[in-house]
Amino acid sequence: MSITKKHAAKKSSKSHSSDSSSESDVPVKKKKKSDSKKSKGKEKTYVIEQKYKGTKTIAIFKGEEDDHEEGSFPVVAFGLTKAKAIIKHYDDIKAWVKSQERDDDE
């Protein structure tokens, strides 16, 4: 899996532009193809690594990466601590999602 890296500072007035990063903080872009399929409950998504107030974060966006607009809001974004917790409890999260999907079908 490769991840696209972007600045956290966006052109949107709604962004958190208090990031005082310099040009040297501009990350290198890596392509990532979405593995989501167009089926019930699954939308295409892509991942971008960003920096927020100097801390690396990962964000998941809806749609196609080629259509990404600076300033758009992700579905979810988090840093290393939350990423580790998600990995540790991946099976629990996956089981919960399945139970919610079953509840939606009823």
Question: Residue 19 and residue 8: Cα distance in Å, rounded?
Answer: 7
Residue labelled with tokens 């840093």: 79
Q: What are the extents of the domains in the chain? A: 4-79
Tens digits of per-residue pLDDT, 33-68?
444 444 455 789 999 999 989 999 999 999 999 888
Question: Residue 71 and residue 12: Cα distance in Å, rounded?
Answer: 5
pTM above 0.85, yes or no: no
Residue 22: which pLDDT band, with cuts at 50, 70 and 90?
A: very low
Tens digits of per-residue pLDDT, 12-21?
333 343 444 4
User: Which ranges in 37-89 belong to alpha helices (H)?
Assistant: 80-88
**Main-chain phi, psi angles of 52, to 5 degrees:** -125, 115
Question: Residue 73 and residue 89: Cα distance in Å, rounded?
Answer: 25
